């Protein structure tokens, strides 16, 4: 394989659509990128990556603060097993589970690309290393849409505005509560309810930044019993109150 670009990118809150003649991997460092690849919707976020095959039309947009590590690469003859698995993944399923063991490598590359400690000539070597690690991990996990974990994630995302129990989430994932707990701990490093709390806070912060509805309405739409519950959760987990976060977002829009 030949890596043609390894770079940090941020995207606007305006949907764009294009295609290209190379493979592309999108890995989230901050925020989430909403994408549709050949009519299939999904996201590049902390737990999943996007693999786009050559010639596939895809649209993309991201709101709020966002940053992604993007690898563009061309396939060559006599590719390794890892590269072949990655190419096969691009062709069959664009939205793939990200091996959380690779996060330290992603953070290293983010820092190195930011401070310029990776020379342009070294980017291909680092890109090949990362692609090899990504491809090597594919035989240890199933595709996102086929996994019980992902059924749980989809159910939690759809139900984030109401109270959910472990039993409901496990039933939606077609597994037991104990097995689901183990899946989350293994793949995400947190419990299902901890992950649900993060989904709700992300949704609340998006509403606070993008809409003018009251904070009480934001709380209700994000699964919190009242405004004070949202305030406690946001301050405890993100270190800021809803009112102060909204004020900061409004100042940013004016500048």
Concatenating the DSSP letter of every residue in 175-236 gives S-HHHHHHHHHHHHSS-HHHHHHHHHHHHHHHHHHH--S-HHHHHHHTT-SSHHHHHHHHHH
This prediction has a pTM of: 0.57
CATH of domain 147-254: 1.10.10.60
- 108-140 confidence digits (pLDDT tens): 999 999 988 888 778 889 998 998 888 877 655
* Domain 2-141, second-level architecture: Sandwich (2.60)
List the chain domain ranges.
2-141, 147-254
- 11-60 confidence digits (pLDDT tens): 998 888 989 889 999 999 999 999 988 877 888 998 889 999 888 889 99
């Amino acid at each position: 394989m030949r890596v043609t670009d390894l770079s940090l990118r941020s995207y606007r809150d305006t949907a764009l659509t294009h295609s290209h003649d190379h493979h592309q991997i999108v890995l989230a460092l901050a925020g989430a990128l909403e994408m549709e690849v050949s009519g299939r919707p999904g996201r590049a976020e902390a737990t999943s990556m996007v693999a786009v095959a050559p010639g596939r039309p895809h649209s993309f947009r991201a709101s709020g603060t966002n940053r992604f590590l993007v690898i563009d690469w061309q396939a060559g003859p006599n590719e390794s097993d890892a590269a072949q698995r990655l190419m096969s993944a691009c062709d069959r399923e664009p939205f793939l589970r990200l091996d959380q063991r690779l996060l330290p490598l992603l953070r290293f590359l983010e820092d190195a690309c930011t401070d310029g400690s990776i020379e342009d000539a070294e980017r291909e070597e680092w890109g090949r290393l990362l692609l090899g690690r990504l491809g090597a991990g594919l035989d240890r996990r199933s595709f996102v849409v086929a996994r019980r974990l992902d059924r749980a994630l989809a159910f939690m995302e759809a139900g984030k505005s109401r109270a959910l129990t472990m039993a409901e989430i496990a039933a939606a994932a077609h597994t037991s509560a104990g097995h689901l707990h183990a899946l989350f701990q293994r793949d995400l490093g947190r419990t299902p309810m901890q992950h649900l709390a993060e989904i709700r806070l992300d949704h609340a912060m998006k509403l606070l930044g993008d809409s003018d509805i009251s904070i009480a309405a934001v709380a209700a739409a994000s699964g919190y019993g009242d405004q004070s519950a949202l305030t406690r959760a946001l301050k405890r987990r993100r270190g800021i109150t809803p009112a102060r976060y909204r004020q900061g977002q409004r100042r940013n829009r004016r500048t």
